[in-house]
Amino acid sequence: MTIKQFNATYLANDDRLLFRFNTSEDSEFRFWFTRRVTLFILAATSHLLVKALEQSHTPEAAKAIAEFSEEAVKKDREQSEAVKPETYEPASTYPLGADPVLVMDVKCALEKQGSEDMLSLDLVLPGGANINLKMAGPTLQAMCLLLNQLREHAAWGEVPQVQDVATTAAENPQKPQKPLMH
C-alpha cells in the first residue's frame, strides 16, 4: 500500500487534529491525533533523522543538514502551492471505518530498506491494535511539515527535544523511565 496524499485539520473545540491519508489502492484512513501524539511524532522524527545523519557526519553537521533539508522542503512546498494547490481526494473505501480512530500512542523507529532510511511509525489504537506506516524522503517530510504547520496554528508550543525528555526522567528517578522512542 502506497500513501498518495495526506490531509489534516485542527479542530479547536476538540483540541486535536483530524489526520487522514489516502492510498494508491483507493483506501482512506482517518485518525484523531492529540497534542501529545502530534508533538511526539514531530520530536521523534526530528531526533531519529538527525541520529541517522550522525552515522556519516558529525553531530553538528547532522543537525545543520536536517535543518537545511527542512527549510528546503518548506520553500519547495510554498512554491508548488503558489503554482498549483493540491486538493485532497477522498477515497472510496475505509478499511477502519469512516469515523476517525483515536491514536492512543505512537512508536517510532528508523529502518533500512535497501539503501534508504525509512521511518517506521506505529500508531497504537484503542484495544492495542496498531497501524504501521513506513515513510521515507518526501513523504515523511511532507507529513512533518503538515503536522508542524498545524501545531503552530493550534498554538501547541514548541516541539520538545528528545534530550529534554531524557533529562527530566533522569532527574526524577522515582518514576520508571520510559523508552525515548516508545
CA 123 → CA 15, 16, 128, distances in Å?
A: 19, 15, 10
The pLDDT tens digits for 36-93 are 999 999 999 888 877 766 777 777 765 676 666 666 555 565 545 544 456 889 999 9
Predicted TM-score (pTM) of the model is: 0.77
Specify the DSSP element, H or E, that contains 50: helix 35-53
Beta bridge partners of 105: 124
d(CA 41, CA 182): 11
From 134, 126, 121, 122, select the one nearest 99 (Cα to Cα).
126
From 42, 50, 52, 2, select the one nearest 23 (Cα to Cα).
2
d(CA 57, CA 157): 30
Ranges 26-35, 41-50, 137-146, 151-160, most confident: 26-35
d(CA 121, CA 112): 14
d(CA 45, CA 43): 6
Is the CB of residue 30 less than 8 Å from the CB of residue 101? yes
